[in-house]
Amino acid sequence: MKFARQHLLVVDDNPVNVELLLDVLDDHGFDNAHGLSDSRRVLEHCRAQRPDLILLDIRMPHLDGYAVMEALVAAFGDAAPPVIVLTAQIDDETRRRAQRMGVRDFITKPFKYDDVIQRILNALELEHRYQLRTRQAHSFEDLAEKRWQDLDQLSRTDTITQLPNRRAMTQALQSASDACAPTGLLFIAIDQLDEVVRFHGYATADKLMFHVSRQLNERLDDAATLGMWGGSELLVMLPEARLEKLINQAFRLVECFDQDQTLGDLLLPLNVRIGISSTNEPFDPERLVHMAALALPQQNGPLRVQSYNEELETLQRQRLHLQQSIRGATERGEMCLAFQPKISLADGQVLGAEALLRWDHPTLGRVSPAEFIPLAEASGDILAIGEWVIEQALAHIVDWREKGLLDDRFHIAVNVAARQLAKRDFAERLLETIKARGVPPRFFSLEVTESGLLSDIQNARAQLARLAEFNIAVAIDDFGTGQSSLAYIKTLPFSTLKIDRAFVMDLEDMEVDRHLALAITRLAHGVGCDVVAEGIETKAQADYLRSIGCEAAQGYYYARPLPAEEFQTWCEQHSARLSSTNVLEPSWPTTSSTAYANGSTN
């Protein structure tokens, strides 16, 4: 029989009833049935071996059936054995009370044995199904719990490196903060990964990051935790706040990048920068990470490791304030143009001027272009500012032409940022603006840097070729300080090379600088270009450049960058002095360049 081995317990204060039921159960194949006449022993029996079903009398001395059921529920909870009530009294109140306590069925006295057996079988079948469903439910719960744990682990794991991801690292930091544990952070920025993507694809870049993460992990102490923070940024969490130890650990990690990374047959160069922060106090995880990120050395700078200090944050806040203030600065009248003359080294005549942007902040005062130009380029504000500069330069050209200040050789040169040149319609919009102003193209020219050209060489070539059709002259600014390439010198339509001040400042003392200036001049002449040297500060520098055939010069030896009104006056005075003396000397009072460090020619 299906339920022959089920453990049944008969509880009745009348031993005769117990024996009768046990005999009936035995006759029907139940060989694991037991009986009790003392209800006080039920709980003890159940604890020794839990019955699969209890046949329980209601009216008993000491503990009635209700008290027994309450004791079973208190002891076993939801796992209490199922109960069939034995009673001679089956009034509505008895039935309702028993049902509220969860009984499965009722057997009335005197017993009808076939009815008793069927009700027992029904109750056992029901209990069997219940237990089966319970086991299945528990199995599903266990499976769901394991699946949840797996998903939770996946949600905290970087899929490429298998390292803890940002979520996991943030949780680890929060736990350390809650425990008031000393904590140090190394914020690792890996440079040049985008170049790996560009030349070798994302699959190679992913393998490289996996390779790098393994190398870094091998150099970390067991107590350290390495995790991913961004696509090319990692975070190391150490239970250590002593700066000396953190710096030593950072330099150990930097050593991983002293040589190219070997990946199969590839040798891939990567650079790394590490910022450090630490604390002995409870901390905000986001703040501690931000401090380490602020400490990151500048890209392509001399430092590879740097620790956080308040001055770094002050500088960063100033940069942010500047970046926010740049937008709308031209509309608020805070920006203007200054003009630095370009002088012919052959006859001293003014050939033109370079238009240089100046920003007078209402609270910070004069802001160096070296500070705000990169910020404007990074934010994209350089596009609007660049258009404003072109409009202003053209307006001054129109004004000076009307005043007869400009001869046919005179031109105003405007610097163009890489993001401006990258726009596909840059040339067309510029030509439309020049035409709308009624300015002959010979009075206007552009200066572009090598980095601006090389960021998108194909588009730069197309834009400059379009401008060349209308005789817009183009000069390569700061030649030799970027990624110089004879290929672009050969193929790009430009008319002038500018020798950077880096090759001019030591001409009097350094023979190598004289050779470099000569080489650049000969190179320019060889491809049909003229040469402008910038940063001239002494007569000896000007004399040497004149002697090697350099056509033009600009610098503090002649004039600092001047506001439009002063530039006009300077040109008139310079022209008058040339006519009267016919000598190639500066006609503006010379001043050491350091006096105008905040208003340099760039």
Tell me the per-residue pLDDT of 61-88, one tens digit each, with 9 for 90 and over: 989 888 999 999 999 988 889 998 888 7
Mean per-residue pLDDT over the chain, rounded = 87
| ∠ CA 299-302-308, rounded to 5° | 75
The answer, as to whether pTM is greater than 0.75, is no
* pLDDT computed for residue 595 by the predictor: 31
pLDDT higher than threshold 50 for residue 538: yes
pLDDT higher than threshold 70 for residue 486: no
Tell me: the pLDDT tens digits for 2-40?
Answer: 787 889 999 999 998 899 889 888 888 898 999 999 999
Q: How far does Cα 274 stand from its chain's mean position?
A: 15
219 and 252 Cβ atoms separated by less than 8 Å:
yes
Quick one: tokens of 423?
């726009």
* pLDDT computed for residue 88 by the predictor: 75
pLDDT higher than threshold 90 for residue 585: no
Ranges 296-300, 330-334, 365-369, 561-565: which has the least confidence: 296-300
Tell me: the pLDDT tens digits for 149-160?
Answer: 777 777 889 999
Tell me: the pLDDT tens digits for 224-275?
Answer: 999 999 889 999 999 987 999 999 999 999 999 999 999 988 999 999 999 9
Who contacts 252 (Cβ-Cβ below 8 Å, separation ≥6)?
Answer: 219
Tell me the pLDDT band of 581, cut-offs 50, 70 and 90: low
pLDDT higher than threshold 80 for residue 592: no
pLDDT higher than threshold 90 for residue 135: no
Q: What is the mean pLDDT of residues 83-96?
A: 79
Residue ranges of alpha helices (H) inside 403-471 are 418-421, 426-437, 450-454, 457-468
Tell me: the pLDDT tens digits for 438-455?
Answer: 999 999 999 988 766 766
Which contacts qualify for 267-271: CB closer than 8 Å, 24 or more apart?
A: 268/196, 268/200, 268/204, 268/208, 269/192, 270/190, 270/191, 270/192, 270/193, 270/196, 270/208, 270/212, 271/190, 271/191, 271/192, 271/299
Domains and CATH numbers, the chain: 8-135 (3.40.50.2300), 166-308 (3.30.70.270), 336-599 (3.20.20.450)
Question: What percent of the chain is predicted at pLDDT more than 70?
Answer: 94
Locate tokens 């005999």: which residue? 23
* pLDDT computed for residue 589 by the predictor: 39
CA distances 34 to 55, 538, 590, Å, are 10, 118, 119
| ∠ CA 441-446-452, rounded to 5° | 145
Q: What is the mean pLDDT of residues 576-590?
A: 60
* pLDDT computed for residue 110 by the predictor: 81
